[in-house]
Amino acid sequence: MQFIGIVGVALFLLIAWAGSFNRSKVRMKPVMLLLILNFVLAYVLLNTQVGETLIRGIATASDFIFEAADEGVAFVFGGITNEGVPSQFFIDVLLPIIFISALVGILNYIKILPIVVNGIGRFFSKFNGLGLVESYSVVAYPFLNNGAVVSIKDHFEGMKKPQLFTVAMSSIASFTVTMVGAFMRMSEPRYVVATLFMNMIGTFIICNLVTGSRDESDMADEKIDDISSDDSFFEVLQEYMKIGFSIAVNVAVLVVGFVSLIALINNVFDATIGITFQDLMGYVLSPLAVLMGIPWSEAVTAGGIMATKVISNEFVAMSILADLPAGLISERTFGIVSVFVMSFANIGTVAITAGVIGGLHAERGREVLRMSMPLLGASLLVSFLNAAIVAVVL
C-alpha cells in the first residue's frame, strides 16, 4: 500500500496543478523542496526515536495542562457528570479549550508567540515561493487564530488574487493549537502533532501549485503589524478565556446539530434504499481513500468518515472515528484517516473565513466567497496529500 500512497501523492499534486489559475508562474523547485520536507517531517515524527521522544514530551505536557484544565472544569461541572460514563464530549473534550485558550493568550501577551511565529514565517518565505505576508499567515493562524488575519489587515487593499487565496486558505486547511488537546483525547498524540505541522507545509505546496509562485513585485513592502493592545494582563486573559468558551460552545452546537442531522439522514436513506447516507458516501469516496493508501477492505468505512468531515466538521468525523468498533479498521488506517480529518476544511469554515476577512475589508470578503469552492477543494487537497504522505511512511 506504500506504493499506492506514492501514486496518490503524485495524483493529488497533479490535480492541484491542473486546477491552477496561474499555471505559468508555477515553479517546481519550491514545491519539491517542501514536499521532501513534509516527507522527512512525517517520517521523523512517526517512525524515529527522536520523533517518539518529542511526541512523548508534547503528550506529557498536554496531559499536564489537561490535568489543570480538568480541575477547573470539575469545580464548576463536576456535579453533573454521569457515573459510569467513561467520557463526556462536552465536559472532557471541549471545556478544557477555555484553559488552553487562556494559555495562548498569555503567550501572546508576553510576546513569545508573535516572535516565534513571525520568525518561522520569515524562514519559510525564503524558499517556499510565497511572500512574507502569506508565509506568516499560514504559520500564524494555528497559533493566533483570527489574530493572524487582523495583523495583516492593512495589506488587503492592494492584495492580488493569489495572495488573498493563500491568506484565506491558511484559515481553512489547518487547525489551531487550542484544538490540540481535544484531538489528543480522540486520537494518538503523534498523529495530532504531525498533522499540525504538516498542514502548514502542505498549504505552502498546494498554494504554489494552485496560485503560482511569487515574483519580487508581489512581495514589495511586506510587513506584519503588531496586534498587541494596551489591555492589561487580566483583561487579555479574560478575553481569551471567553474566546475559548465561545469555541467550545460553538463546536458543541455544531456537533449536536450535525450528528443528529446525519443520524436522521442515515435513517431515511436506510429506510428507503436500504443503505445509510454515510455508507453511500463511503462508496463514493472509497477510491480516494485507496489513493491515500488505505486497503480496499477498509476504504468504504474510511470514505464515510471523510465525507462526514467535509459535510459537517472535523469534530463530528473524529468522534465517529474514535468510536469505531475495535478491529474494524487497522491502526495504520486509523492514523491515515486521523491526518485527513484534522483540519478545518469543510463548507462551514469557508463561510466563516469570508466573514472574518469581510469584517476587515468588505470587497475582499466578497471575493473570498466567490472563491469558496476552489478554496475548499484546495484545502481538502492538503488533507489528501498529507494523508497519502503518512500512508507512505507508516
In a domain, 115, yes or no: yes
Q: Is the pTM of this model over 0.75?
A: yes
In a domain, 83, yes or no: no
Dihedral of CA atoms 38, 40, 43, 49 in degrees, nearest 10, equals -130
Specify the number of domains making up the chain: 1
pLDDT on residue 116: 84
pLDDT on residue 191: 95
Nearest one of 362, 354, 355 to 165, comparing CA atoms: 354
221 phi-psi bin (left φ>0, alpha ψ -120 to 50, beta other): left
Q: Name the average pLDDT for the chain.
A: 86
Residue 388 has pLDDT above 70, yes or no: yes
Residue 166 has pLDDT above 70, yes or no: yes
Mind listing the pLDDT tens digit for each residue in 83-118? Answer: 554 456 677 777 888 888 888 888 888 888 878 888
Nearest one of 324, 286, 318 to 302, comparing CA atoms: 286
Mind listing the pLDDT tens digit for each residue in 345-380? Answer: 987 788 888 888 888 888 998 999 899 999 999 999
CA distance 161 to 159: 7
pLDDT on residue 87: 53
Grid cell 476504504 in the structure block, residue: 299
Residue 20 has pLDDT above 90, yes or no: yes
Is residue 64 within a helix (H) or strand (E), and if so which, with residue range? helix 49-77
Q: pLDDT band for 19, please (50, 70, 90 cuts).
A: very high
In a domain, 82, yes or no: no
CA 339 → CA 10, 23, 185, 290, distances in Å?
Answer: 18, 28, 15, 15
In a domain, 164, yes or no: yes
pLDDT on residue 326: 87
pLDDT on residue 83: 53
The range of the structural domain enclosing residue 64 comes to 2-76+88-393
Mean pLDDT value of segment 377-393: 96
Mean pLDDT value of segment 15-28: 92
391 close to 1: Cβ distance less than 8 angstroms: yes
Grid cell 498533522 in the structure block, residue: 195
Ordered DSSP codes for 11-63: HHHHHHHHT-S-GGG--HHHHHHHHHHHHHHHHHHHHSHHHHHHHHHHHHHHH
pLDDT on residue 339: 97
In a domain, 162, yes or no: yes
In a domain, 296, yes or no: yes
* b/e 157-196 (16+ beta carbons within 10 angstroms → b): eebeebbbbbbbbbbbbbbbbbbbbbbbbbbbbbbbbbbb
pLDDT on residue 173: 94
In a domain, 309, yes or no: yes
Mind listing the pLDDT tens digit for each residue in 223-264? Answer: 555 555 677 888 888 888 888 888 788 777 777 887 788 889
Q: Which residues contact 19 (CB under 8 A, 6 or more apart)?
A: 210, 374, 377, 378
CA distance 105 to 13: 37
Q: Which residues contact 348 (CB under 8 A, 6 or more apart)?
A: 254, 313
SS3 of residue 165 by DSSP: helix
Mind listing the pLDDT tens digit for each residue in 262-285? Answer: 889 889 999 999 988 888 988 999
Residue 217 has pLDDT above 60, yes or no: no
Mean pLDDT value of segment 187-203: 94
Q: Which residues contact 130 (CB under 8 A, 6 or more apart)?
A: 124, 138, 166, 204, 207, 208, 213, 214
Mind listing the pLDDT tens digit for each residue in 284-343? Answer: 999 999 999 999 999 999 999 999 898 888 888 998 999 899 889 999 999 999 999 999
pLDDT on residue 81: 55
pLDDT on residue 85: 47
In a domain, 136, yes or no: yes
CA distance 161 to 64: 43
Who wins on pLDDT, 77 or 335? Answer: 335
Residue 157 has pLDDT above 90, yes or no: no
Residue 220 has pLDDT above 60, yes or no: no
pLDDT on residue 225: 53
